Structure 1
Amino acid sequence: MEIERYARGTIGRSWTASPRGRDAVAARAWRRRAEIAEARSATVAPILPYSVVALVGLAFEARIAAGPGVFVICRGPDIAETLHLAYDAGCRSIISFGVAGGLAPDLRPGDWIVASEVLDARASRPTHPAWSRNLLETIPEVRYGPVLGVAAPVADPLAKHDLHTRTGAIAVDMESHIVAEFAAEHGMSFAVARVIVDPAHRRVPDAALIALRPGGGTNLSAILREVLTKPAQVLPLLRIAGDAYAARSALLRLRRLLGPGFGISEADESSDSRAIRLPFLSRLALRS
Structure 2
Amino acid sequence: MLGILVALPWELKSLTRQAIPAGTCTAIGGNILVAHSGIGSERAYAASVRLVSQGATALLSWGYAAALDDRLTAGSVLLPKRIVGVTGENHPVSSEWHRRLYQTLSAKCSVGTDPLVESVVIVKTPSEKQALAQRTQATATDMESAAQARLARERRLPFAVVRAVVDTASTCIPQNLMQSLAPKDDISVGQVLGNAFFRPTDWIAMIKLSMQFNAAQKTLKKIRGPVLDASQVYLDGISLKVTSPSRA
Question: Fold conserved (TM > 0.5)?
Answer: yes
Q: Which stretch shifts more, 256-265 or 82-91? A: 256-265
The question of 1:75 aligning with 2:42 is answered: no
Q: Classify the secondary structure of the residue corresponding to 1:106.
A: coil
2:101 partner amino acid: L
Counterpart code for 2:113: Y
Structure 1 consecutive aligned stretches of length 4 or more whose deviation exceeds 4 Å: 77-81, 214-217
- Is 1:115 the counterpart of 2:80 in the alignment? yes
Distance 1:81 1:244 in 2: 26
Shift in Å, 1:130: 0.5
Task: Give the CA deviation at 1:216.
Answer: 6.2
Contact 1:96-1:179 within 8 A present in 2 as well: yes
- Residue aligning to 2:21: none
Question: CA separation in 2, counterparts of 1:214 and 1:179?
Answer: 22
SS of 1:242's partner is helix
TM-score (norm 2): 0.81
| 1:210-225 paired onto structure 2 within 5 Å | 210-215=179-184, 217-225=186-194
1:161 aligned to 2:140? no
1:171 and 2:133 matched: no
Q: Does structure 2 conserve the Cα–Cα contact (< 8 Å) formed by 1:75 and 1:216?
A: no
Match of 2:237 in 1: 267
Find the residue that maps to 2:115 and give its secondary structure.
Answer: strand
Paired AA for residue 153 in structure 2: A
Q: Any conservation in 2 of the 1:105–1:199 contact (CA below 8 Å)?
A: yes
Quick one: which amino acid aligns to residue 78 of structure 2? Answer: I
Which 10-residue stretch deviates more, 103-112 or 60-69? 60-69
SS in 2 for 1:95: strand
Secondary structure of the structure 2 residue equivalent to 1:107: coil
Q: Which residue of 2 aligns with 1:132?
A: 98
Cα distance in 2 for residues equivalent to 1:83 and 1:267: 23
Superposed, 1:1-288 pairs within 5 Å as: 51-66=1-16, 67-68=28-29, 69-76=31-38, 79-122=44-87, 123-140=89-106, 141-215=110-184, 217-260=186-229, 262=231, 264-268=234-238
Q: CA deviation at 1:261?
A: 6.1
CA drift at 1:86: 1.8
Gaps of 5+ in 2: 17-27, 242-248
Q: Is the 8 A contact 1:57 1:216 kept in 2?
A: no
Cα deviation per residue 1:5-58 (whole Å; 9 max; x = unaligned)?
Answer: xxxxxxxxxxxxxxxxxxxxxxxxxxxxxxxxxxxxxxxxxxxxxx11111111
